[in-house]
Amino acid sequence: MERIFAIGDIHGCFDKLEKLMGIIPLEYGNDRLVFIGDYIDRGPRSRDVVDFVIDIRKRFEKVTCLLGNHESMLLQYLDRPGSETRSLYFLNGGDATATSYGYCEPPEEDMIDIPTEHLDFFRSLLPFYETPDYIFVHAGLRPGVPLCEQNLDDLVWIRHEFIYSDFDFGKTVVFGHTPFSSPLIEGNKIGIDTGAVYGGSLTCVELPSKTIYEV
């Protein structure tokens, strides 16, 4: 049986990512690795995190990378430049990402100059990933809405309507986005954002055993 290792929100915490990858018993070629989104912003080493994840995806086939709300904000800022998208991005930690790409402070008018390989990575991120037993998504799902009809904004932004719902989604939903002091494990969902960038742990869950790894 294929094991799945899902890693929560990294937010530029490259040191924690390196340590976590060093302790999970992942067998490349046999197991699948899923990144749940939010690789960037707030933490100090967003660029290094993206380089690291791109390298893993190049070398190993079974690596799935999901879109987080922070990558979504970055793409909106790059694709639709203006005061609104700029403010939204930089007020939510984008200044740390700009610094990691070599800027002393966020540019006032010009866009952040992001390497093409990194931009291609951001544009390749999936809104969700589904297996026979699990749905992996950054923020969660809107209860009562079929997966194929879910709104992208909900997939990367939803919080309370999903977290406090006991709706049966047909499969266990594995998500990040909303930080908890420890992993949330319930009958219909597993939350693995444990606030790495706020001083908490970076968490990985191994499925189907639900084994938790934290650094």
Comparing CA positions, the residue from 53, 10, 5 lying closest to residue 25 is 5
Domains with residue ranges and CATH for the chain: 4-214 (3.60.21.10)
Is 80 exceeded by the pLDDT of residue 1? no
Read off the pLDDT of residues 127-139 as tens digits, 9 standing for 90 and up: 999 999 999 999 9
Write the DSSP symbol of residue 111. P
Could you tell me the end-to-end alpha-carbon distance of the chain, in angstroms, rounded to an integer?
A: 26
Read off the pLDDT of residues 135-179 as tens digits, 9 standing for 90 and up: 999 999 999 999 999 999 999 999 999 999 999 999 999 999 999
149-187 residues labelled b (16+ CB within 10 A) or e (exposed)? ebeeebbbbbeeebbebeeebeebbbbbbbbbeebeeee
**HSE value, Cβ hemisphere, 13 Å, CA-based, for 121:** 26
**Tokens standing for residue 208:** 């189907």
Model pTM? Answer: 0.96
